[in-house]
Amino acid sequence: MFWAAFSSLPRRSGLIPLFGDPTSRRGGVSSRTIEELYRRILPTLLNSIDRNAIFQQDNAPVHTAYILECEIMEWPPYSPDLNPIENLWSLLKAEILKRHPELMHLPNNESTKDLLLETAQEAWEGLDIEIFKHLSETMPHRVADVIKYGGWHTSY
């Protein structure tokens, strides 16, 4: 799993791999993992963006850490259409597979994981910054569509 952020400036964070929390019940990424990430990364990120910005995070319970010193966007839990980073994850996956199609068939081991991490970082940095800007600019339309459709899925 990866974490990343971007803004309309346009600006993006690095692509940060998230590893499981061995103290969590299922050993996966937990709220503790996300909270540690936010405490480490977000102060720098928040200092580099507009103070009037609204932070949008995944609605998954592990992602809803309330340690931010900025406005957090509230949005319907059943409408992922508002989150433009989902578009970026699709673009990133396509770029990873374009660079290393063999990743689809490699065994699940440390060397494959290392190749995936390296390739994902390179692919993330290779995404054109204009994509981030464009996705940020779609937010007013996304919000309007979600309101129009009562919180249900939209064309995004």
23-54 pLDDT, tens digit per residue, is: 888 888 888 888 888 888 877 776 666 667 77
In a domain, 155, yes or no: no
In a domain, 143, yes or no: yes
pLDDT number for residue 32: 84
Which residue did the predictor score with more confidence, 109 or 64? 109
Report whether pLDDT(67) > 90.
no
Prediction pTM value = 0.81
In a domain, 156, yes or no: no
Instruction: List the domain range (segments joined by +) for residue 19.
Output: 2-148
The Cα angle at residue 4 between residues 127 and 119, in degrees rounded to 5: 50
In a domain, 11, yes or no: yes
Q: How far is CA 17 from CA 67, 82, 112, in A?
A: 20, 23, 14
CATH code of the domain containing 104: 3.30.420.10
- pLDDT tens, position by position, 90-143: 999 999 999 999 999 999 999 999 999 999 999 999 999 999 999 989 888 888
In a domain, 129, yes or no: yes
In a domain, 153, yes or no: no
Task: Name the pLDDT band for 6 (thresholds 50, 70, 90).
Answer: confident
Q: How many domains does the chain have?
A: 1
In a domain, 40, yes or no: yes
Give the strand pairing for 11-12 and 54-55. Answer: unpaired
pLDDT number for residue 77: 65
pLDDT number for residue 72: 76
